[in-house]
């Protein structure tokens, strides 16, 4: 609709000028005309195959009129809302400064509070299997989000095939443990190394690609890995997947009933919840490791080089930074964390198949990173909680779940276009660490 | 100390398709001197710069750099990042290229990437936080602080570079280039967009970089007051070839330079050409 705005539109030239009723009406009429054009065939004429296969159609002008009317009224409402909220800045300028500073204080204590709460979840919800399972799921996505954050948020390389490394990690553990009988704790680093290796392998061909081209190739890479998993039947089991993957042990002590199990050793009655709690703390530890390493890396030269690469690649070259190795290390590091998460996924499920590693997973993890605020650790954790937990929250809405969820995402993107935590924290400071406004931070060129 | 000039261009030619941007250009930049490269718009100055700093691979010719200790580099053969890493050539850009979302201090830390990378044991020792890494990081911060103080931006060390005023960004970019510890500093129009006072401060800074730090400087500049005031030698280019070379005083009176800048009518140009022949 922006094309229909005259260049001297009050919104574009000067917001303090009053917007005339004529302008609002004109815009609403234009919107309604577009709606009429779009919906006249989609809604206005209903076609169906008749009993003998002939075309039957009838008109539904009533529905069409109500839709066009809704667009007309909606357009006026949006304009009035915009007028009321001020020309620019949206909701941000609408919040008083005192509230904003209060929010930032709350933000400082949010991360430690969340961490303590997460530690206590198995204690509080010990008898609620559903909550524990959901917690494990959320933490898995937190870990995946933090892993992808290295590639997308720090290095600014748009990776749409992140699920490939998740799959490599899962199959590494699944196949190594079922074929060679290796334990989870040996396979975990191996899964990370193998995924990192595939990360480098993906990195090489895409070094020269940027933006959309990079996104397309990484997307294809994700699909290739999945197709190989489906078709290489002798090794991966094809669509049947890998089953009977050993459950994790507490450094060799199995969490099983009977002799030699952890419960028997501790002299307490066995409960299947023990394993769930163990898995919960396992993924929490893995996620926190990812977080700790990422925070450390940001303060090391390699992390700064990633961020510099996102800001300006040409300047990096002029400063003697090897772009090739810097990009490859970003891919490898992100992939390694994906591999760890994959190995955890395999041991938790006990069964893996290519169906678990579709593009939808990549898109979900990327959405978590973008929604959280690229580069922000806290933001990604909050976004994973909102995306995975929120999705469960809307379960009672049944068919409208996706609709409500989509609406919530659109609203968040209007309210905070750079993610929940959009600002960037400096990695080093002399006197005082001042957070950097998201307007200045670049998203990278791909 | 080596007696060879720090930078010597021999028959440098750069073609883009059918266009010859630089044609068999040869000149030298002397050690610990400021050499200015001037010429009208489109003369090929920035192309020469991009060849020297590895952003273009020249079609033919040799770019030879000689360090104080006599180590020589043929820069047309080096990979782009090795021009800064090994040959120690730093540059700034005509349209400033800072990292806008990073603080001034972070910008200067990124410039010390290669030294810090080594000190952090390719990240692994740094990840563990060993004392030698901490010491190296602290000395890098000290170096950054030194240069921030030098360009008068110390009080803004923790501010995002993108928030700096234009003149401050120019100075920060020079500080960032100096943090790489260069033997040769290449400046692409450092005085563009500066007011008279800022331009004067820049002259002082460049002269001090030359005399106090012993860094040779090659600069492209349109602002003749800067060129005449600080350069030791001037090379004039037009249409991809060198048309004059000498001290600022010699260049100022050279009829060919005047003709290239101001344009002449046909007769005058012919007269100049004849006088030359």
Query: Least CB-CB distance to B141: which of A305, A426, A428?
Result: A428
Question: Predicted confidence band at A372 (pLDDT cuts at 50, 70, 90)?
Answer: confident
How many CA atoms does the CB half-sphere of A6 hold within 13 Å?
7
Q: For the segment B65-115, what is each residue's pLDDT rounded down to a tens digit?
A: 888 888 888 888 888 888 888 888 999 998 899 999 899 999 999 999 988
Query: Is residue B170 predicted with pLDDT exceeding 60?
Result: yes
The burial of B226, by beta-carbon neighbours within 10 Å (0-12 exposed, 13-18 middle, 19 or more buried), is given as buried
Question: ipTM value of the model?
Answer: 0.87
Q: For the segment A41-81, what is each residue's pLDDT rounded down to a tens digit?
A: 888 888 888 888 888 888 888 888 998 999 999 888 888 88
CB contact under 8 A, A320 and B54: no
B127 to chain A, closest Cα gap in Å: 6
Contact residues for A386 (Cβ-Cβ < 8 A; gap 6+): A371, A420
In three-state secondary structure terms, A433 is: coil
Chain mean position to CA A25: 40
Query: Least CB-CB distance to A300: which of B53, B102, B127?
Result: B127
Q: In terms of Cα–Cα distance, which of A176, A160, A180 is closest to A168?
A: A176
Q: With the C-alpha atoms ordered A339, A345, A347, A351, is the resulting torsion angle positive or negative?
A: negative
Q: For residue B38, what are the domain limits?
A: 7-98+181-276
CB contact under 8 A, B113 and A296: no
CB contact under 8 A, A307 and B93: no
Strand B34-38 relative to strand B216-220: parallel, antiparallel, unpaired?
parallel
CB contact under 8 A, B102 and A323: no
Nearest CA in chain A to B100: A440
The burial of A82, by beta-carbon neighbours within 10 Å (0-12 exposed, 13-18 middle, 19 or more buried), is given as middle
Same domain, B152 and B78: no
**Residues of B with CB below 8 A from A196's CB?**
none
For B65, the token pair is 């750099």
For B194, the token pair is 């500066």
Question: Predicted confidence band at A95 (pLDDT cuts at 50, 70, 90)?
Answer: low
CB contact under 8 A, B117 and A302: yes
Average pLDDT over residues B113-127: 82
Q: In terms of Cα–Cα distance, which of B55, B75, B53 is closest to B64?
A: B75
pLDDT at A12: 41
Average pLDDT over residues A327-354: 93
Instruction: Tell me the domains of chain A and their CATH numbers.
Output: 2-88 (no CATH), 127-415 (1.10.3470)
List B residues 177-236 in contact with A (Cβ-Cβ < 8 A).
177, 180
B13 to chain A, closest Cα gap in Å: 22
Residue B171 falls inside a structural domain: no
- Distance (Å, whole) CA A111 – CA A107: 7
Same domain, B217 and B142: no
Instruction: Report whether A10 contacts A23 (CB < 8 A).
Output: yes
Question: Predicted confidence band at A97 (pLDDT cuts at 50, 70, 90)?
Answer: low
pLDDT at A223: 92
Q: What DSSP line would sit under chain B, residue for residue?
A: ---S-SEEEEEEEEEETTEEEEEEEEEEE-TTSEEEEE-STTSSHHHHHHHHTTSS--SEEEEEEE-TTS-EEEGGGS-HHHHHHTS-EEE--SS----TTSBHHHHHHHHTHHHHHHHTTTTHHHHHT-HHHHHHHHHHHHHHHHHHHHTT-GGGTTSBGGGS-HHHHHHHHHHHHHHT--SEEEEESTTTT--HHHHHHHHHHHHHHHHHH--EEEEE-S-HHHHHHH-SEEEEEETTEEEEEE-HHHHHT-HHHHHHHH---HHHHHHHHHHH-
Residue B2 falls inside a structural domain: no
Contact residues for A164 (Cβ-Cβ < 8 A; gap 6+): A198, A202, A221, A222, A224, A225, A226, A357, A362
CB contact under 8 A, B126 and A321: no
Residue B139 falls inside a structural domain: yes
Residue B172 falls inside a structural domain: no
Better-predicted residue by pLDDT, A147 or B71: A147
Mean per-residue pLDDT over chain B, rounded? 86
For A241, the token pair is 């997947």
Same domain, B117 and B35: no
**H helix or E strand, kind and range, residue A149:** helix A129-149
Q: What DSSP line would sit under A232-274, residue for residue?
A: -HHHH-GGG-EE-PPPPEETTEE--SSTTSHHHHHTS---THH
**Residues of B with CB below 8 A from A300's CB?**
116, 120, 123, 126-127
Q: For the segment A184-219, what is each residue's pLDDT rounded down to a tens digit?
A: 888 999 999 999 999 998 888 888 887 788 889 999
Total domains in chain B come to: 2
A219 to chain B, closest Cα gap in Å: 28
User: Is the CB of residue B169 less than 8 Å away from at least one CB of chain A?
Assistant: no
Better-predicted residue by pLDDT, A264 or B154: B154
In angstroms, the Cα distances linking B104 to A318, B162, B276 are 17, 9, 51
Question: Predicted confidence band at A425 (pLDDT cuts at 50, 70, 90)?
Answer: confident
- Distance (Å, whole) CA A349 – CA A243: 9
For A391, the token pair is 């999705």
Same domain, B141 and B188: no
Task: Give the residue from B115, B135, B163 where a domain finishes.
Answer: B163
List A residues 325-364 in contact with B (Cβ-Cβ < 8 A).
329
- Distance (Å, whole) CA A221 – CA A159: 10
**H helix or E strand, kind and range, residue A413:** helix A401-415
Residue B170 falls inside a structural domain: no
Specify the DSSP class assigned to residue A431.
Answer: S
For A340, the token pair is 């760890």
CB contact under 8 A, A293 and B127: yes
Instruction: Report whether B36 contacts B219 (CB < 8 A).
Output: yes
Residue B188 falls inside a structural domain: yes
Which backbone phi and psi does A243 adopt, to 5 degrees? -120, 170
Same domain, B108 and B217: no
- Distance (Å, whole) CA A125 – CA A429: 41
**H helix or E strand, kind and range, residue A45:** strand A45-49
Same domain, B246 and B270: yes
Same domain, B91 and B185: yes
Same domain, B55 and B31: yes
A90 to chain B, closest Cα gap in Å: 22
CB contact under 8 A, B123 and A302: yes
Average pLDDT over residues B226-245: 88
Query: Least CB-CB distance to B101: which of A301, A311, A434?
Result: A311
Instruction: Report whether A168 contacts A342 (CB < 8 A).
Output: yes
Same domain, B84 and B190: yes
B209-221 burial, b at 16+ Cβ within 10 Å, e below that, comes to bbeeeebbbbbbb
CATH number at residue B255: 3.40.50.300
Instruction: Report whether A134 contacts A389 (CB < 8 A).
Output: yes
Residue B15 falls inside a structural domain: yes
List B residues 42-81 in contact with A (Cβ-Cβ < 8 A).
53-55, 79-81
Torsion of CA A217, A218, A219, A222, to 10 degrees: 120
**CB atoms inside a 10 Å sphere around CB B150:** 18
For B118, the token pair is 């080594």
Same domain, B136 and B199: no
Which backbone phi and psi does A266 adopt, to 5 degrees? -85, -10
Long-range contacts of A47-50 (CB under 8 A, 24+ apart): none
Question: Predicted confidence band at A5 (pLDDT cuts at 50, 70, 90)?
Answer: very low
Same domain, B92 and B185: yes
Same domain, B74 and B148: no
Residue B1 falls inside a structural domain: no
CB contact under 8 A, B80 and A317: yes
Which backbone phi and psi does B223 adopt, to 5 degrees? -75, 105
Q: With the C-alpha atoms ordered A15, A17, A19, A23, is the resulting torsion angle positive or negative?
A: negative
pLDDT at A149: 92
Contact residues for A314 (Cβ-Cβ < 8 A; gap 6+): B55, B93, B97
Average pLDDT over residues A319-325: 90
């Amino acid at each position: 609709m922006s094309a229909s705005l005259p260049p001297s539109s009050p919104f574009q030239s000067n917001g303090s000028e009053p917007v005339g009723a004529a302008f609002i009406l004109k815009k609403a009429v234009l919107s309604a005309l577009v709606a009429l054009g779009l919906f006249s065939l989609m809604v206005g004429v209903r076609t169906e195959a008749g009993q003998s296969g002939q075309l039957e159609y009838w008109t539904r002008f009533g529905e069409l009129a109500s839709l066009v009317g809704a667009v007309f009224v909606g357009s006026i409402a949006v304009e009035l809302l915009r007028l009321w909220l001020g020309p620019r800045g949206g909701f941000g300028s609408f919040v008083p400064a005192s509230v904003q500073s209060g929010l930032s204080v709350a933000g400082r204590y949010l991360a430690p509070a969340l961490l303590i709460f997460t530690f206590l979840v198995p204690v509080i919800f010990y008898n609620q299997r559903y909550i524990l399972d959901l917690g494990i799921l959320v933490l898995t996505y937190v870990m995946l989000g933090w892993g992808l954050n290295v590639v997308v948020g720090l290095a600014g390389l748009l990776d749409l095939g992140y699920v490939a490394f998740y799959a490599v990690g899962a199959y590494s553990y699944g196949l190594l443990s079922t074929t060679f009988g290796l334990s989870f704790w040996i396979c975990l680093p191996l899964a990370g190394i193998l995924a990192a290796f595939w990360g480098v392998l993906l990195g090489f061909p895409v070094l020269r690609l940027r933006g959309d081209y990079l996104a397309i190739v990484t997307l294809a890479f994700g699909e290739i890995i999945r197709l190989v998993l489906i078709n290489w039947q002798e090794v991966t089991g094809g669509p049947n997947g890998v089953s009977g993957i050993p459950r994790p042990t507490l450094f060799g002590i199995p969490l099983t009933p009977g002799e030699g199990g952890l419960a028997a050793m501790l002299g307490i009655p066995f409960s299947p919840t023990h394993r769930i709690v163990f898995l919960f703390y396992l993924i929490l530890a893995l996620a926190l490791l990812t977080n700790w390493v990422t925070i450390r890396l940001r303060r090391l030269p390699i992390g700064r080089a990633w961020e510099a690469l996102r800001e300006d690649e040409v300047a990096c070259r002029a400063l003697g930074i090897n772009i090739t190795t810097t990009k490859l290390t970003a891919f490898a590091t992100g992939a390694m964390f994906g591999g760890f998460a994959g190995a955890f996924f395999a041991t938790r499920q006990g069964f893996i198949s290519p169906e678990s590693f579709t593009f939808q997973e990549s898109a979900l993890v990327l959405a978590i990173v973008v929604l959280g605020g690229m580069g922000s650790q806290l933001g990604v954790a909050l976004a994973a909680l909102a995306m995975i937990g929120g999705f469960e929250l809307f379960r009672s809405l049944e068919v409208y779940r996706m609709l409500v969820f989509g609406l919530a995402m659109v609203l968040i993107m209007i309210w905070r276009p750079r993610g929940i935590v959009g600002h960037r924290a400096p990695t080093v400071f002399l006197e005082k660490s001042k957070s950097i406004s998201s307007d200045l931070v670049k998203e990278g060129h791909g | 100390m080596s007696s060879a000039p720090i930078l010597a261009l021999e028959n440098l030619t750069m073609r883009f398709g059918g266009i010859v941007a630089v044609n068999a250009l040869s000149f030298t930049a002397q050690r610990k001197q400021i050499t200015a490269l001037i010429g009208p718009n489109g003369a090929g100055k920035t192309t020469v710069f991009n060849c020297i700093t590895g952003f273009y691979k020249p079609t033919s010719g040799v770019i030879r750099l000689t360090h104080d200790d006599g180590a020589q580099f043929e820069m047309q053969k080096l990979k782009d990042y090795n021009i800064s890493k090994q040959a120690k050539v730093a540059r700034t850009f005509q349209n400033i290229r800072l990292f806008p979302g990073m603080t001034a201090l972070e910008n200067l830390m990124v410039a010390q990437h290669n030294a810090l990378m080594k000190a952090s044991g390719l990240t692994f020792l740094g990840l563990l936080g060993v004392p030698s890494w901490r010491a190296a990081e602290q000395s890098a911060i000290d170096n950054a602080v030194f240069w921030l103080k030098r360009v008068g931006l110390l009080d803004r060390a923790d501010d995002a570079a993108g928030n700096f005023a234009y003149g401050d960004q120019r100075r920060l970019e020079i500080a960032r280039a100096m943090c790489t510890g260069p033997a040769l500093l290449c400046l692409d129009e450092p005085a563009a967009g500066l007011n008279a006072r800022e331009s004067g401060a820049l002259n002082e800074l460049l002269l001090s970089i030359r005399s106090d730090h012993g860094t040779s400087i090659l600069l492209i500049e349109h602002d003749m007051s800067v060129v005449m005031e600080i350069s030791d030698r001037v090379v004039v280019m037009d249409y991809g070839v060198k048309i004059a070379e000498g001290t600022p005083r010699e260049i100022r009176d050279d009829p060919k330079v005047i003709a290239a800048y101001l344009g002449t009518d046909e007769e005058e140009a012919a007269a100049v050409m004849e006088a030359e022949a």
